[in-house]
Structure 1
Amino acid sequence: MSRSHTKKKPWQVIAKEAQDYRDSTIAELSPSAPRVPAKLPKNVLPLPQELLDVSVLTITELPPEELLVSLATGKLTAVAVTDAYLRRAAVAQGLVNCLTELLPSLALSRAKYLDDYFQKHQKPIGPLHGLPISLKEHLGLKGLRCTTGFVSHWDHISKEDAHILQVLSDAGAVFHCRTTVPQLMMHLETDSNLYGVTVNPYNSQLTSGGSSGGEGALIALRGSPLGIGSDVGGSIRNPAANCGIYGFKPTAFRIPTDGWGYMMAGADNVESVLGPLSTSLAGLQLFMKVIIDSQPWLTEPALIPMPWREVEIPKNLKIGVLWHDNVVRPHPPVSRALRLVTERLKTAGIEVVDFPPYLHDEAWAIISSLYYPDGGEYDSDAIQSSGEPWRPLSKWIVKENPCVKKMSVGELTYWLEEREAYRKEYALHWNEYGVDALLCPVGPGVAPRHNTAKYWCYTSQWNLLDYPGVAFPVCKVDEAVDKLEDDFKPMSGHDSDNRKLYDPQEFHGLPVSLQLVGRRFEDEKVLKVLEFVTKKIGLPFENFP
């Protein structure tokens, strides 16, 4: 990736350039995308129905697995599908500020090529023929910028497509837009000085999550059927949960990461992974299978040469339930969702057992120490070199985190040994309860107000252990039912802080999601169990757009 300095321009000038460039890519659409109202309601989910043509809505409301059938049979053309998603993505940008750029020229020329291929050969080019896929901005796309949320990286240009994009392109995918990321790429929020704040489509006063919050908001608005995010502490599962869609964090070293712009690439203190967000569970399964079936380890040696396996549901399926982590008790809607799912699992004849937390507070001490072994020096320099201000959650994770300090080789070795010891202890803990998968919260509540998402441990726990996890929608907040208990006794200071964030009136109608976790390298099993459970108990329990 080529780099040059941007010190000469004030950061505000670069930010305006970034936003003007994004707007110019949307303006390339012909005919133009519909204009969104100047004054928007808190909940913008109904607006695409009012702004877009029926032909666009009919296409964009199909889940990816149905889109692919229509594309593979010639019922829909790649150009028609791509054009529909370009338009809906453009509208989504106006509603929630989720794009860094639209890719109309690239996407439509690719779609036309695929249609020509289909016309000539009367078959699809690959398993993802004509499917639009949105890209988190830090994924390298040849000739385009890759800022990873820093103003000082505005002129970092990717020299080649990221490996994962090469695989998806070979399978027939169409890349139609790129989505917002936060400063540092280390927020459960998506806000930067380049593009501003990405808001939640259910309520603009609340966060879409992060760091893949652009993907979460876009897909919730059906501006994409399938997108790529990344996850080092919850950055796929958190926005998926906040926005009421599906998101999967794979085990590390199964999905290729060569060619992304993440600063920690190549370091495995905490393994960061790429993974899918989608409007459907089938979309996640499709993404994983297509990529792993391509045998990406043949050109990216760091990957584990493990094929995608067909798994069967155990005859005596046993699911554990983690009600809380013994540090922070989830808000009432999350606890209710756990109860609902647990009760229906038992009614369906599935064995369910309580799964007690094992030293989850120590897990955070370990992982937060390993996030910044340079003491945050790289990120601090990247911010200071442009003069851009620190965003509130950037300051929190680097400057206000007592575990962040520049480590000696000996200190880093100590924390890596602690990581491995904890992983072994947790494996033995899991063995004691013998569960096939673990049902647990994705976070301590639903989508919170901006700049308040400071408790990562319901997701970062599984990053430390490198366990795969899938977030899925269950129900919605009901202010009449989801009330705080009167006899609250805090488990910790964090628990008291979290309780103060709960606002049943503000949160009413928001998605309530849960997470299903499995052991390392049991990615196929986790997704298969969720598929089985979804059919068995009728998930989700409410309609999601």
Structure 2
Amino acid sequence: MKASNKMWKQIAQEAQALRDETLAKVGVTIEIPAQLSRNVTDIPDRVLSASSARITSLAPQEIITLASERKISAQQIVQAFLERAIAAQNLTNCLTEILPERAISQAIELDARLLGNSAPLGPLHGLPVSIKSHIGIANRPLSSGYCAPFHSRQRPDTDALVVQILTRAGAIVHARTTEPQSMMQLECTSNLYGVTTNPYSNILMSSGGSSGGEAALIALRGSVLGVGSDVGGSIRVPAAACGIYGLKPTAFRVPTTGWSSTPPGADPIVTVLGPMSVSLEGLEMFMRVVAAAEPWRIEPALIPLPWRAVDIVLSREKPLRLGIIWHDEVVKPHPPIMRALKEFVNKVSNVPHVEVVDFPPYKHDEAWAIASSLYFTDGGEADLAVMAESGEPLLPLTEWIIKDNPGVKLLDRGELEYWLEEREEFRMEYSQHWNETGVFNRASGNWEGTVDAIICPVAPGVATQHNTAKYWTYTAVWNLLDYPALAFPVGKVDKAVDVKENRKRFMSDLDKENWKLCGRTDFPTPRYVLLNTISTDFQSC
């Protein structure tokens, strides 16, 4: 029987059985307590050996240094992270599989290299790295969150280019992580693997999406550096939900050859790959290694631009100017987000040579109209056809983004050209809007004193209840503009402080709907609050 004719439930059972088979190959049993609190982030340290807990608590650079100096073997490091990944899977359902045979084999090679008095393989020597599952791994299945492709598509013969680069730099790929049906959810749920949950609120809240498996795994330190993807917030929203760091680079900076995603040419809003990590240093490490490999020599669409470390000297002649978007004039953020912004402003306002100003948003409602019209230019026909192959049902957020979204329809050539023109016009207008935060110097012909970066919310609220994340614009606007954006943690929800106000007036119907979610979630503790940093510095990101 052809795989495409198998019913989706059977395919899902096979996918989960394959995952369980890979977990069993690690050869250990991780016992999870029967009774769990909402916050399960402390469980791995309690159920792992002291050695494994210590190794997996280290920062990425510490792991590399210890492995390179033969103070801890790569085999010990890999074993520790494999065990912790199993614990994370048992707590949040964040894995599609782990790769113990591959990872241990590579670790043995790295250790043997050092025993032979050779130098470390590369700048990531001995560092375990996790990969979102639609990024190809040799001889492993690709599905993009759908059931039918899990078996019907040929498995790749080689790793995706970005995985090859990381491996050549000494990284060890040890885990693959969950993604949602259609990849177009700010949640992480599929018929293949079920729901990935948030480690800070157990089963009640979402880990975010679409890179929700990466976020949950990294939050539980089953990995300290991973690769996600982002077309509307899919790196930044899960990073926000799980309290880690996530970077959406500009398009054509990180290679995508070898992934399962948008067909070449069908990219009116480009999906990008980017790093997720426990630290800011982890993100920079990833970008530096990828750029140093000069992937544009293999993938010609990439920008041939080396990584440039930007040294922000606070004693420079001109102050670092930060613009704050308090809200997007469509949906007001919930109390913990507003508090986080205020605390951030209070702290950086006291830093010498830093200037903080309000940054007025520019037509973010129009941005969503354009973006949502360009996400599915075929009206969602290709996605619906893939789901029909196995008979799998549309999950709530897939149905919402494809069928309930007024922007999604089959575009003829004229309509597509119209929305592409709208995209370019919006980009020009936003650039002018940004420039006007400064002063135009007629003598030089340049804008001076413009905002260097924007700080704004990642989303209207913190981690959402399942199937409620429907407001994308706080992140999607930067995809439309193709600006690099970084999500970073600033604190946790405090129920005693973050009290919901009794609002009577709303900026829009969407604002009113999102404010109701604030009451529904009631801020279970603790959930992370993250902010976006947005810059137009294409050279560095």
TM range, normalised to the smaller chain? over 0.9
Contact persistence 1:251–1:520 (CA under 8 A): no
The count of aligned residue pairs is: 520
Residue 451 and residue 265 in structure 1: after superposition, are their counterparts in 2 closer, same or farther (change >3 A)? farther
Measure how far apart 1:39 and its partner are.
4.4
What does 1:18-29 align with in structure 2 at a 5 Å threshold?
Answer: 18-29=15-26
Contact persistence 1:209–1:239 (CA under 8 A): yes
Q: Does 1:428 align with 2:449?
A: no
Cross-structure match for 2:73: 77
Cross-structure match for 2:422: 418
SS at match of 1:80: helix
What does 1:53-92 align with in structure 2 at a 5 Å threshold?
Answer: 53-92=49-88
386-395 or 62-71, which moves further after superposition? 62-71
Q: Does 1:121 align with 2:120?
A: no
TM-score where L is the length of structure 1: 0.94
Aligned sequence identity (%): 52
Cross-structure match for 2:136: 140
Q: Does 1:373 align with 2:389?
A: no
Cross-structure match for 1:528: none
Measure how far apart 1:368 and its partner are.
0.4
For residue 405 of structure 1, the aligned residue among 389, 402, 409 is: 409
Cross-structure match for 1:6: 3
- Rounded Cα–Cα distance in structure 2 between residues aligned with 1:264 and 1:8: 24
- Rounded Cα–Cα distance in structure 2 between residues aligned with 1:160 and 1:154: 17
Contact persistence 1:242–1:446 (CA under 8 A): yes
The residue identity in structure 1 corresponding to 2:13 is K
Residue 232 and residue 11 in structure 1: after superposition, are their counterparts in 2 closer, same or farther (change >3 A)? same
The residue identity in structure 1 corresponding to 2:189 is D
Residue 459 and residue 491 in structure 1: after superposition, are their counterparts in 2 closer, same or farther (change >3 A)? same
Cross-structure match for 1:529: none
What does 1:32-43 align with in structure 2 at a 5 Å threshold?
Answer: 32-43=28-39
CA RMSD of aligned residues (A): 1.3
For residue 509 of structure 1, the aligned residue among 518, 523, 526 is: 526
SS at match of 1:26: helix
Contact persistence 2:23–2:98 (CA under 8 A): yes
Q: Deviations over 1:521-541 (max 9, x none)?
A: 1445xxxxxxxxxxxxxxxxx
SS at match of 2:322: strand
Cross-structure match for 1:346: 349
- Rounded Cα–Cα distance in structure 2 between residues aligned with 1:168 and 1:105: 18
Q: Deviations over 1:376-421 (max 9, x none)?
A: 0000000111001110000000000001111111110110010000
Residue 266 and residue 224 in structure 1: after superposition, are their counterparts in 2 closer, same or farther (change >3 A)? farther
What does 1:271-350 align with in structure 2 at a 5 Å threshold?
Answer: 271-313=270-312, 315=316, 316-349=319-352, 350=354
Q: Deviations over 1:166-225 (max 9, x none)?
A: 111110110001000000000000000000000000112000000000000000000001
Q: Does 1:362 align with 2:331?
A: no
Cross-structure match for 2:105: 109
TM-score where L is the length of structure 2: 0.94
- Rounded Cα–Cα distance in structure 1 between residues aligned with 2:31 and 2:262: 37
- Rounded Cα–Cα distance in structure 1 between residues aligned with 2:361 and 2:264: 30
Off by >4 Å, runs of 4+ in structure 1? none
- Rounded Cα–Cα distance in structure 1 between residues aligned with 2:264 and 2:413: 19
For residue 148 of structure 2, the aligned residue among 146, 152, 165 is: 152
Cross-structure match for 2:462: 446
Q: Does 1:130 align with 2:126?
A: yes
SS at match of 1:175: strand
Contact persistence 2:310–2:540 (CA under 8 A): no
- Rounded Cα–Cα distance in structure 2 between residues aligned with 1:366 and 1:513: 26
Contact persistence 1:5–1:152 (CA under 8 A): no
SS at match of 1:43: coil
Q: Deviations over 1:112-149 (max 9, x none)?
A: 01111111134211000110000100011111100111
The residue identity in structure 2 corresponding to 1:499 is W
Measure how far apart 1:37 and its partner are.
3.1
- Rounded Cα–Cα distance in structure 2 between residues aligned with 1:259 and 1:123: 30
Structure 1's unaligned 5+ residue stretches are 525-545
